[in-house]
Amino acid sequence: KTKKRAISEADVLLLKKFKPKTSQQQRAKDYFFMSFYMMGTSFIDLAFLKLSNINNGRIEFRRKKTGQLHSIKITPPLQEILNRYIEGKTNSEFILNVIKSKEESKQYIQARDELKRINKRIKDIGKLCGITQPLTSYVARHTYATIANTKDVPLSIISQSLGHKDQKTTAIYLAQFGSDVIDKYNEFIIGSDTSS
């Protein structure tokens, strides 16, 4: 058991409708939705994406954490975000403007520092939207998994989408169902006629 970090689809819609007033807010919103549209991709993986990772309408990369290969179709809302960052860049350049150093050790520090800034800004945006759950970049990942689960996407598909090697890890991400949902399924399982 771990603290659930997902937000509802209604809250996702509030975030989508939010109009950023600064470039920092725009980046925070973009990074959150890039993660969401890319099946909950972690911020560290987003930060290290290069233009060369885009091939034939897909983004292909290996997860930093597990080395697992991801190939994600670029949907129209994802393309809209990408367009703000890829113009004028070469294949060897990073898509996002997070990593500027050529030294790997400094690259991770730059990604970590930007993640702190992004988390602060996305938290502020959440408050402005009236979302009670404190937002972080990781909330996008948990939300993707939980929404998939509520839409009856098989656990094996959610697990593979998130790049998990074990479905037990995926289960940790998923929000627990309310008692009304459990009651409904219990009645379905035992039959509507409960007389003995």
Task: State pLDDT tens for residues 85-103.
Answer: 999 999 999 999 999 999 9
Which H or E element spans position 61?
A: strand 58-62
For 1-27, the pLDDT digits (tens) are 445 678 889 999 999 999 999 999 999
Between CA 50 and CA 56, with CA 51 as vertex, the angle to 5 degrees is 125
Give this prediction's pTM. 0.80
φ and ψ at residue 112, rounded to 5 degrees: -65, -45
Beta bridge partners of 94: 50
Mean model confidence pLDDT for the chain: 83
| H helix count then E strand count, the chain | 9, 3
Distance, CA of 33 to CA of 141 (rounded, Å): 10
- Other C-beta atoms within 10 Å of 59: how many? 22
Give me the percent of the chain exceeding a pLDDT of 90: 55
157: which 2 tokens?
A: 């598909």
Distance, CA of 58 to CA of 41 (rounded, Å): 14
Among 2, 1, 6, 3, residue whose Cα is nearest residue 142: 6
How high is the pLDDT of residue 141? 84
Distance, CA of 141 to CA of 162 (rounded, Å): 8
Q: Is 120 left (phi over 0), alpha (psi -120 to 50) or beta?
A: alpha
Between CA 153 and CA 162, with CA 156 as vertex, the angle to 5 degrees is 85
Distance, CA of 20 to CA of 27 (rounded, Å): 9
| Residue 54 vs residue 173, higher pLDDT | 54
